[in-house]
Chain A
Amino acid sequence: MLVCIRGLRFLRGARMIFGGVDLDIPRGKVTAIMGPSGTGKTTLLRLIGGQLRPDAGSIRVDGQEVPRLRHRALYELRKRMGMLFQSGALLTDLSVFDNVAFPLREHSALSEPMIRDLVLMKLQAVGLRGARDMMPAELSGGMARRVALARAIALDPTMIMYDEPFTGLDPISKGAAVQLIRLLNDALGLTSIIVSHDVQETASISDYLYVLSDGEVVEQGSPEALNRSSSAWVQQFMQGLPDGPVPFHYPAAEYLDDLLVGA
């Protein structure tokens, strides 16, 4: 197990985001964490990365208790984690090449020619070697995310976290992203954590799924197991049905009564 979460509790103000969550992320596999918007999936990634501290519970990454790490140890651990933000989070004043080279220049003492070769290799892996001199403002959403992916694997991390990698992409880019995530995971021996609510795409490449709702793990298992789930709620989620346990209509008074008010 690369990541081991037990009894995680996290509150934002008065709202409970997580109320006792247990999760295991096995090494070398693609694990997905799914759920409706607002369940705190991004928050979970930030907790794993140490950007937020839980109110209770333990988060172990590679044997280390993340919330208890001191500044230097935390930064050391982060060198082995890659994170892909929803927006890509590229540095806007640097070119594509410089963005991918950034972690290499900051953390390794490699010479410029070596860095150049590494950057080109990473860009080649995501299919954007020809775009190396473009600026982030000139890239489409899908391309920006691919550059961010190249940057995330620049230091050859042990694991990568993807925050909504498919949201807002056109079908072609989506297909490319889906394939890329699985390919990189297997080719580089990574551990991938995907946080998403794009059920079809995520399920097609994941080895294991967790479904979160209301701060708890509602269901977990392989994609096939979830498709055969007996829970009506999970079925509604997996198949994208507009109505079911999560109702279509926001709670309101009887329709006829509403229309006849004032008659």
Chain B
Amino acid sequence: MQTSRWIEIVVGVFVAAGIGAFFVLAMKVSNLSEFGGQNGYTVTAEFDNIGGLKVRAPVTVAGVTVGRVSSIQFDNDRYEAVVRMNIEKRYDKFPVDTSARIFTAGLLGEQYVSLQPGGAEQYLKDGSRIKLTQSALVLEQLIGQLLFSKASGGPSAQ
């Protein structure tokens, strides 16, 4: 059966509209545009406690997202969490003594990694390891500390 040109054109428009909608969703709705994907370099950091940090959590410097957490693993020998981060290639001037801390967005939000640049002359590159890290604050530990300091802080009766 011959397909009329009209039908072919309309179907073409339909398929184009579908693909177009897909791109709109990809670009405007999702985080695709921000995350450059594969052109980044990987940096590792070890933490005693990562708290609620998840893969794909943002890595920020001065509040600006410069990368994402790409994997979280456990080092069986040193009993520490090994976090791999993918940093965008254009941000390649982090000194080797940059520190990494795990903060919480807002009061009860999700956790992310914040980098504080140091002052060394050499820069982090692919495969580098960040040595200065600060673990996440865990609520129970905070409360425990508070109670402990209150208990030992003075003779507060009753």
Contact = CB atoms under 8 A, between A and B. Distances in A.
Interface of A: 93-94, 98
Contacts of A93: 1
Nearest to A102: B1
Interface of B: 1
Majority DSSP secondary structure for residues of A touching B: loop
Contacts, number: 3
B123 to A, nearest CB: 67
Contacts of A98: 1
Nearest to A93: B1
A44 B1 CA distance: 32
A93 B1 CA distance: 10
Contacts of A94: 1
A65 B33 CA distance: 66
B80 to A, nearest CB: 65
A94 B1 CA distance: 8
A98 B1 CA distance: 8
Contacts of B1: 93-94, 98
Nearest to B2: A98
3 contacts: A93-B1, A94-B1, A98-B1
A231 to B, nearest CB: 51
A107 to B, nearest CB: 15
A146 B1 CA distance: 21
B7 to A, nearest CB: 13
A226 B85 CA distance: 96
Nearest to A91: B1
Nearest to A94: B1
A126 B1 CA distance: 23
Nearest to A105: B1
B15 to A, nearest CB: 23
A92 to B, nearest CB: 12
A132 B1 CA distance: 15
A48 B1 CA distance: 29
B112 to A, nearest CB: 60
B148 to A, nearest CB: 82
A146 to B, nearest CB: 22
